[in-house]
Structure 1
């Protein structure tokens, strides 16, 4: 069961990622997840993330899919869409990744909008649609600029043939 203490141990494990070997880290995450129900969405998501972060990207997708099917919610639901789309892009399924990104964008807006835009831009580039990807990245960047937000958005729109706002 995911508890506050479990979450603290999870955070501590993620802190050690770079100090551990790939297989060692994944096994440690599996061991931690084994303390939960086998279909606990949070545990499945974290095991997927452990695989993803250590280069076992294809395996990660299966865990991510199971986490979503098990009812993953909250901020981890948003994160799973970003991480799974990225994994799909890198394992030869960029079109499926774009569909997932579009579905996630339709769910609403939050602090992960920039990460979602980054994933979309990279996926568009993977598909040879670099101008669209650059446009997405510039629109996401614009609100963080101290000035030139409107100009940046208009230049980005122009890259893909849209009229200025």
Structure 2
């Protein structure tokens, strides 16, 4: 971890006590230390705006960071956070498509269950609570060894009724 990464992490560790405006200000200052087209710096600026509830300002920054080649693990985080932002902006369909694409391309990624959790939320926002519950329960099932098979079956039945 670089010294810059450590300072970014420190801002996030203090975010709740710093407040929204200070998080944006500090992330913008840290980003200004990096080249203008640095995808990681742009991602952190997006996350700060997302944290502050400024999703409309965060969206183009997430998209730019991804377009510039943001690398793991931040790439997957940006996809999840952008999809969440889209859901919060009332664009659940776009969020669902993005999350389904992420799962299709990276089904075993370490953040795949987080992708599924946000997909479940987007499905509920779209008005399909049964599909959302099915996705969430299917993601949870492997963590329930005594009941995994039953939960998977019940989750599947939610969308086949």
TM-score grouping bracket, smaller chain normalisation: over 0.9
Alignment of 1:28-107 (within 5 A): 28-107=26-105
Match for residue 4 of structure 2 among 6, 9, 14: 6
- 2-side partners of 1:131 and 1:150: how far apart? 19
- 2-side partners of 1:4 and 1:26: how far apart? 21
Matched, 1:116 2:94: no
Instruction: Give 1:21 shift.
Output: 2.4
Instruction: Give 1:15 shift.
Output: 1.0
Partner of 1:18: 16
User: TM-score if structure 2 supplies the norm length?
Assistant: 0.96
Instruction: Give 1:146 shift.
Output: 3.4
- 2-side partners of 1:125 and 1:28: how far apart? 34
Choose 14-23 or 136-145, whichever is displaced more: 14-23
Instruction: Give 1:136 shift.
Output: 0.2
- Give the count of matched residue pairs: 160
Choose 133-142 or 46-55, whichever is displaced more: 46-55
Structure 1 segments of 4+ aligned residues over 4 angstroms from their partners: none
- 2-side partners of 1:92 and 1:124: how far apart? 12
- 1-side partners of 2:145 and 2:52: how far apart? 36
Unaligned runs of 5+ in 1: none
Partner of 1:132: 131
- 2-side partners of 1:154 and 1:21: how far apart? 44
Instruction: Give 1:24 shift.
Output: 1.5
Aligned residue for 1:134, secondary structure, equals: helix
Deviations along 1:37-78, one digit per CA (max 9) or x if unpaired, are 111000011110111112111111111001011111211111
User: TM-score if structure 1 supplies the norm length?
Assistant: 0.93
Aligned residue for 2:122, secondary structure, equals: helix
